[in-house]
Amino acid sequence: MSLPPDPHADLRIDAGWIVPVRPNGLVLEQHSLLLRDGRIAALAPTAQADAWQASEHLRLPGHVLIPGLVNLHTHAAMNLLRGYADDLPLMTWLTQHIWPAEGRHVCADFVRDGTRLACLEMLEGGITCFNDMYFFPEAAVEAAVAAGMRIAAGIIVLDATTPYAADPDDYLGKGLAVRDAWRDHELVRFCLAPHAPYSVGDRALEKVVTYAAQLDLPVHMHVHETEDEIRHSLQHHGLRPLARLRGLGLLGPNLTAVHAVHVSEEEIDTLATHSCHVAHCPASNLKLASGFAPVARLLAAGVNVGIGSDGAASNNRLDLFAEMRLAALLAKGVAGDPAVLPAHRALEMATLAGARALGLDDRIGSLEVGKSADVVAVDLAAPRSQPCYDPVSQLVYCAGREQVSHVWVNGRAVVADGQSIRVDASEALARAHAWRERIAGRH
């Protein structure tokens, strides 16, 4: 270990294991992570870390350190609709329950309060960055920044009129104004977020393509989620949705296709050829009976696949530990191959792959010197996680989010001893209860 000219760290964390994620498969035992100025300064064997002088020293001998988890697809404010309309098909759920409720209740305060509740849940579960798609994105950004959490805020686009905007131009104008106001904040990133092929017309999608190219913005969109979506596209456009998006110029390395459940071999090749990304949401796909995404075939074709929770109204939890386990198990079952999607790959999907889709893999997603210090400590010392032969196997197949003890974002502590230290839980819960009374009273 070579030392810098000034071997000083703001924080030294001694851990039983460190899993950097890159290089793939590497597990460092009895190592220390040293943080300085919000970045990772060094990874060193604990026996050699005394060469550094640290302002703070934290000893976690039964813990594993991993990069902060990246939730590649969610609708954070919909935490206020958790359990509101369960056990229904997607379009029935949307058109008869969710969209009417949103039409009555969604406003900036709804989004701010719902996102605050979501940030509390996600941070305490080891999620440090989320890719959001919802109305009033400035309220979501305000809540995330106050929580000390990274957000990729979606500039949502719809053809339909909502309490947020009147038409596609209005959505784009308002969203881009928010981007201009927050674009330089260290925790904030923006994506263009046309909702889905069935809810956004060609003219609006052409504008999305233009803005994505001009402003170098990722695009985040539901694609091939259900068979009904495909039938609708064939009926109205004479093309399957992915073919229509390709014709409009939307496919490329800035596109994250959310769900991608019903894709043919040719469409998988198309996604790979255009270097598109996929946000895999296994629990939501199961709950809405959308189907089983062909994750093993997507990965084999070279498609970058990250993991998302979807919103709490269709999951009903923002829990990437549960999603990692489910993703790995479903991939094995669908492929008929127990070697498909091993634990290390599942962890990569929940960290570096999500960062890559957002264009943030040079900053987050792995524990490497120079990267931002988005770090999660998971306690594996309890009987439920012992004996531990492979900490990554324990993380994916055994551990739960309740075992997250500490979280740092940009080197700043946001969770300590399992509790958020930036979000007032009592206030968040009081606001959630108030919204429940209001929404239930109108139901």
End-to-end CA distance of the chain: 62
Residue 94 pLDDT grade (very low, low, confident, very high; cuts 50, 70, 90): confident
Would you say 277 and 73 are in contact if contact means Cβ atoms under 8 Å apart?
no
In the predicted structure, residue 127 carries a pLDDT above the cut 80: yes
In a domain, 417, yes or no: no
Residue 176 pLDDT grade (very low, low, confident, very high; cuts 50, 70, 90): very high
Distance between CA atoms of residues 198 and 78, nearest Å: 21
Across 414-441, average pLDDT: 96
The Cα-based distances of 118 to 124, 151, 198 in angstroms read: 10, 12, 27
Residue 443 pLDDT grade (very low, low, confident, very high; cuts 50, 70, 90): very low
Distance between CA atoms of residues 277 and 255, nearest Å: 6
Residues 352 and 379 in one domain: no
**Strand-pair partners of 92:** none
In a domain, 441, yes or no: no
Would you say 347 and 395 are in contact if contact means Cβ atoms under 8 Å apart?
yes
Residues 19 and 94 in one domain: no
Q: What is the CATH number of the domain that holds 44?
A: 2.30.40.10
Taking the whole predicted model, whether its pTM rises above 0.95 is answered as yes
Residues 54 and 88 in one domain: no
The Cα-based distances of 298 to 89, 106, 308, 310 in angstroms read: 25, 36, 16, 19
Residues 292 and 315 in one domain: yes
**Domain containing residue 383:** 8-66+375-409
Residues 88 and 231 in one domain: yes
For residue 347, give the nearest of 302, 388, 292, 399 by alpha carbon: 399
Residue 6 pLDDT grade (very low, low, confident, very high; cuts 50, 70, 90): confident
In a domain, 78, yes or no: yes
Residues 25 and 77 in one domain: no
Residues 76 and 55 in one domain: no
In a domain, 284, yes or no: yes
| pLDDT tens per residue across span 258-284 | 999 999 999 999 999 999 999 999 999
**Strand-pair partners of 155:** 192
Would you say 33 and 56 are in contact if contact means Cβ atoms under 8 Å apart?
no
In a domain, 298, yes or no: yes
Residues 79 and 190 in one domain: yes
Q: What is the CATH number of the domain that holds 225?
A: 3.20.20.140
Residue 442 pLDDT grade (very low, low, confident, very high; cuts 50, 70, 90): low
**How many Cβ atoms are within 10 Å of 51's Cβ, its own excluded?**
10
| pLDDT tens per residue across span 221-234 | 999 999 999 999 99
> What's the farthest any 2 CA atoms get from each other in the chain?
68
In a domain, 440, yes or no: no
Task: Count up the domains in the chain and report the number.
Answer: 2
Return the amino acid letter for 402. E
In a domain, 428, yes or no: no
In a domain, 79, yes or no: yes
Residues 150 and 294 in one domain: yes
**How many Cβ atoms are within 10 Å of 48's Cβ, its own excluded?**
13
Residues 217 and 302 in one domain: yes
Residues 405 and 293 in one domain: no
Listed in sequence order, the residues at least 6 apart from 339 whose beta carbon sits closer than 8 Å to its beta carbon are: 332
